[in-house]
Structure 1
Amino acid sequence: MRALKSARLGADFSKLWTASAVSNLGDGVTMAAGPLLVASLTSEPVLVAGAVFAQQLPWLIIALISGVYVDRLDRRRLVIAVNVLRGLALAVLAAAVATSTASVPLIYLVFFLLGVGETLADTAFSALVPVTVTPEQLIRANSRMAATGILGNQILAKPLGGWLFAVGAALPFAADALTFLVAAALTSAVRVPPARSTSGGGVREDIAAGIRWLWRHRLLRTLAVTMGVANVAFCAAFAVFALYAQQRLGLSEVGYGLLLTTFGVGGLVGSLLASRLRERFGSKTLLRGGLIVEIFTHAVLAFTTEPLVAAGILIVFGVHSVNWGIIAATRFQQAVPDELRGRVGSVYALIQVGGAAAGSLLGGLIAQAVTITTPFWAAAAAMTAVTVVAWRPLRAA
């Protein structure tokens, strides 16, 4: 059934889709096993958290530069090369773990290199999707990408990564290295025309061109800024979610883990229903309604002490967030000229990641200074203001 459905979108999309599914599974395995590896070497919480930050840091410092080169180079070959190099980096880490020579600095270095690769490969990969399907098929294509991403990265990979680490500490990193090589092989079989470069000559000029284009497009500018602020609000609230689950909802560690899965379940449901929801309600209604869902999610979590209520609103939030992402990605792919997708996409991604990083920092400070529910109330207030400002510009959707 899956093969029949993907065939309707074309063989090239089917290969990209499979490559995305494989690499997402591998990424999730490493995301689960990485902190476990660091924790086996040190008991310092700051050092354990630092491994995650090492992989996020490249998005903050080189994302815009990566976007320039995504537009200058052959994107398919760039994805292949980066995936091979990421696979080799993980193979080195796996070998170090297997020989008991792994260290925290080595883990940080490998994770930083993985992050650098993400800024290039993810930006290039998202620019390849629109040239493998027709504009009318983009919603379906993005929905399937989202579904396999959630299923592999958020639902299947986490327990698999923990299990592999328990069997052998080197196994999850060796497995992820293999997924990168498989993804590279699948991408090498895709046949797409190279993007037409419109480089202005210098990196700074090319970055400025991407920023200007995004800022002049009212809808995409609204989507980018809205979700940047929404990421500040969301990450500020969820930076303390583990403590919230224990202190406010009275959950154990197992209960906290189960609560987290509800978000992934909602996202999977949302990705499967994305096309039908858009046909039934339209993009404008889904985007505006999504902002209302954001407000109510934070308000309900701030108010409730019942785990089932929290789980229910997180499922709804998962449905909304995936649908918003699919619609935004589709509008982006339809509107941005192919030769600018790398640069504009990197600006868009930087706004999202910057918002998430700022929110994670603010959430802990607010919760420590006031109460554990204050970040949720603050997030609800912030999203109310964002909704008022974004409501009219979202008509263009």
Structure 2
Amino acid sequence: MGRKRSFFLLLSNQSIASAGDIFYLVSIISVVYERTSSVFLVSLIPFINTFSRFLGGLFAPWILEKGSLRSILASASIGKGLLLMILPALLLTNVVSSFLIWALTVVGLIAVFDSWITPARNASLPRIVPRHSLVRANSLMAMSDQTIQLAGWPVGALFIVLFPPGAVLIGTSLAFMVISFLLLGVRIERSDASFQTSSGPSMAAVLQAGWKYVWKHRPLRTMFIVDGITSLTGAIWIAALLYVYVTDVLQENQSWWGYINASFFAGLMIGGMLCFRFEKALQIKARYFLIGSSFCVAVFTFWFAFPASSVFALLISLLIGIPTQVQEVTQISLIQIHTEEKQLARVFSARDVILTSFFGFSSLLVGGIAEVVGVRNVFIMASLLLTISGLMYVRYRNVLSTSAEEQELST
């Protein structure tokens, strides 16, 4: 009963925090565009968010060594709330430059906190739920994330219409601080004994430990290489590329960009539900789910480049989302199983750095590539990369398992 209560408190904390992240970004984007009318300045917000998360992720292992996972999750939530309190006061002034500088600074610092929260949360789950329930727990976490992503942006936009941006920021700030108290009821086993004191290893040793551990263990090394490949293809879903896709391939108005995004997130939700429903099959045949989902994403992405109609493109977008989520849930569960408990935070910190850096790098390149070869060919290239990731899983399928016996043989 205690484990179940701890998990649902952590899930509630994550859900409210995810909604808060969307609401504060909608508010800042709205104010920046209203006061500057600059698309470039608005585009700086996701860039700074990604870059700051990458920098924060580099130092996350050292931060996570300095306290219990629960205290770090709570401190980060409180820190995000306090940072957001600065912006409503600046809205009362008419100095655009001051608000812009502070807004971008707050976005960057909150992204740093998020770079600590994600690995801490993923490292906490194996200490809260039993191993045989990890797939179910990760599925619920994923469904929560995607539900918030699907509903959060339109709800956030509605809040901006109904309430002043300053009020939305204050409400979000208070929510971040209040949800930190939910973590008081979360019991994370052995977390309080896992952090290092001042006599522990040096910062350099801690920052390198996770990467060395990943490289030493073939299952983790394989999954992290695939993570890098799939992160490169993730940039095909950025707004700039989808705008061109909607115009050039579908020949529709820009509202279809929103429909495609909604369809993709709906697919992610369905994928999470399927993982939850078939958790036992996924645990037993994890490697085959990884292989199958990888090739499905590759095939559907290629198909997305040649839709028979605009409605068909929505269906394909939905189909891409389903195996994408199955692959993500399966992979997180396998990482949790193949990693020693004391190394979990370090390993997930390294993974977050890979995902963020490769996605950020790809986001910068994909627009230029689309201008040279055309947007349709970008999706074809992405499908080829995804096929390579599937072939890697086929090549190393024998080291990917959920059983303790096979795990020992694969390291």
TM (normalized to structure 1)?
0.92
- Could you tell me which residue of structure 1 aligns to residue 154 of structure 2? 159
Residue number among 96, 102, 107 corresponding to 2:103 in the alignment: 107
- Could you tell me which residue of structure 2 aligns to residue 84 of structure 1? 78
- Could you tell me which residue of structure 1 aligns to residue 211 of structure 2? 211
Instruction: Tell me how far apart the structure 2 counterparts of residues 23 and 34 of structure 1 sit (CA, whole Å).
Output: 17
Instruction: Tell me how far apart the structure 1 counterparts of residues 160 and 95 of structure 2 sit (CA, whole Å).
Output: 16
- Could you tell me which residue of structure 2 aligns to residue 374 of structure 1? 377
Does the CA-based 8 Å contact 2:135-2:276 persist in structure 1? yes
Instruction: Tell me how far apart the structure 1 counterparts of residues 73 and 178 of structure 2 sit (CA, whole Å).
Output: 12
- Could you tell me which residue of structure 2 aligns to residue 4 of structure 1? none
Instruction: Tell me how far apart the structure 2 counterparts of residues 31 and 296 of structure 1 sit (CA, whole Å).
Output: 34
Tell me the C-alpha RMSD between the 2 structures. Answer: 2.0
- Could you tell me which residue of structure 1 aligns to residue 394 of structure 2? 391
**Partner AA of 1:300 in structure 2:** W
Deviates most, 36-45 or 256-265: 36-45
For residues 96-175 of structure 1, the aligned pairs below 5 Å read: 96-98=90-92, 100=94, 103-152=99-148, 154-167=149-162, 168-175=164-171
Instruction: Tell me how far apart the structure 1 counterparts of residues 201 and 7 of structure 2 sit (CA, whole Å).
Output: 32
Instruction: Tell me how far apart the structure 2 counterparts of residues 170 and 190 of structure 1 sit (CA, whole Å).
Output: 32
- Could you tell me which residue of structure 2 aligns to residue 176 of structure 1? 172
Distance 1:372 1:256, change over 3 A: same
**Partner AA of 1:219 in structure 2:** P
Report how far residue 92 of structure 1 moved. Answer: 1.4
- Could you tell me which residue of structure 1 aligns to residue 408 of structure 2? none
Report how far residue 100 of structure 1 moved. Answer: 4.9
Instruction: Tell me how far apart the structure 1 counterparts of residues 122 and 237 of structure 2 sit (CA, whole Å).
Output: 29
Give per-residue Cα distances to partners, 1:137-183, cap 9 Å, x unaligned. Answer: 1111111111111112x122101111111221223322321221122
**Partner AA of 2:153 in structure 1:** K
Distance 1:328 1:205, change over 3 A: same
Does the CA-based 8 Å contact 1:237-1:379 persist in structure 2? no
Report how far residue 342 of structure 1 moved. Answer: 1.8
Report how far residue 327 of structure 1 moved. Answer: 1.2
For residues 1-397 of structure 1, the aligned pairs below 5 Å read: 10-98=4-92, 100=94, 103-152=99-148, 154-167=149-162, 168-192=164-188, 193=190, 194-197=192-195, 201-236=201-236, 238=238, 239-280=240-281, 282-304=285-307, 306-395=309-398, 396-397=400-401
Distance 1:34 1:263, change over 3 A: farther
* Secondary structure at the counterpart of residue 62 of structure 1: helix
**Partner AA of 1:201 in structure 2:** P
TM (normalized to structure 2)?
0.89
Report how far residue 370 of structure 1 moved. Answer: 2.2
Instruction: Tell me how far apart the structure 1 counterparts of residues 159 and 276 of structure 2 sit (CA, whole Å).
Output: 36
Give per-residue Cα distances to partners, 1:277-308, cap 9 Å, x unaligned. Answer: 44346212211011112211221121225222
Unaligned 5+ segments in structure 1 are: 1-6
Distance 1:141 1:385, change over 3 A: closer
Does the CA-based 8 Å contact 1:224-1:352 persist in structure 2? no
Give per-residue Cα distances to partners, 1:212-266, cap 9 Å, x unaligned. Answer: 1111221222112112111102314645112211221122232221221011111
Percent identity between the two aligned chains: 22
